Amino acid sequence: MRQEAHYRAERGTSCWLEGRCSEPNAYLYDERIANSAVAALRADVALAESAIWLIAERRFVYLQGCVSSAGQIERAQALVRQVADVDVVIPALSVPGEAPRYPLATQLQRWRCAGVDCDVAGAGAVAPAGR
């Protein structure tokens, strides 16, 4: 835990001190990135029939959900990579016939955080991107 905390603090602070980032903490980008990524995904007609949601955390964006083709996976990734301040895009999108690449409700029910259900794997901003 201590090593993870050091990495998290160092990652945002080092970037800021070197002048490569506008914020001193990588988590300060989460809401802005999530809102911009959701807007970009919703605006793309090619993704209108998809069901994509995302988690933005420390300038990483995790895409989860279902799309109808591998081309839509590539399209969603490309759109989110263009969002300002996004560092990494990690897709967990499934096409028809594939098992979901994200935790399902039955798995999530087993996860607990101090007696409160954890319904999202990650602490970043969560926003639905599908229509």
| pLDDT for 111 | 47
Residue 77 has pLDDT above 50, yes or no: yes
Mean pLDDT of 57-74: 94
> From CA 85, how far away is CA 48, in angstroms rounded?
25
Q: What is the four-CA torsion angle of 100, 124, 59, 128, rounded to 10 degrees?
A: 50
Structural domains in the chain?
28-128 (3.30.1340.30)
Q: What is the per-residue pLDDT across 85-131, written as a single tens digit (0 to 9) for each?
A: 999 999 999 998 888 887 776 655 454 444 444 444 443 334 444 44
Averaged pLDDT of the chain = 80
pLDDT, residue 126, reads 42
Judging by beta carbons within 10 Å of its beta carbon (0-12, 13-18, 19+), is residue 41 exposed, middle or buried?
A: buried
Both tokens of 61, joined, read 């964006």
Portion of the chain with pLDDT greater than 70, in percent? 70
